[in-house]
Amino acid sequence: MSQKEKFALYLEPEIRERIDRMYKADNCFSRTEFIAKAVRFYLGYLDAHEDNPLLPAAISSVIEGRLDSFEDRLSRLLFKQTVELSMMMNILAYDIETDETALEKLRGKCVADVKRTNGRLTFREILREAASCQG
């Protein structure tokens, strides 16, 4: 148990009544524990970063850690996807002959397709569209 110091504390009667009503609901054993908990929370609020005054420092650091982890994972996944895409483009480029005009027209179609589907394209959809254009 940590050392505690006793000192006088003056509160408005309404605040004391609220503490008396709430400290047990907050799983505190005493008013002292409740007040200490409230003071720690408020001190964390005051210690928060200036750019984010509404979140205590502990919460800010947890959120930042989670976002950093998410960013790292997303970066690795995008790297892997880009490698696979590069492999596919190289295979196709060696096998298919096309001119710059056709390539730019295809790029415009692909941009429109991605916008239309919010990036949720499937190979099956593209294959069906290609088959319908050829048949």
Distance CA 11, CA 32 (A): 13
pLDDT tens column, 71-100:
999 999 999 999 888 888 888 888 888 888
Domain ranges of the chain: 13-47, 99-135
More confident residue, 74 or 121: 74
pLDDT digits 0-9 by tens, 26-59:
889 999 999 999 998 888 777 765 555 556 667 7
pLDDT for position 91: 85
Residue holding tokens 């509404």?
Answer: 54
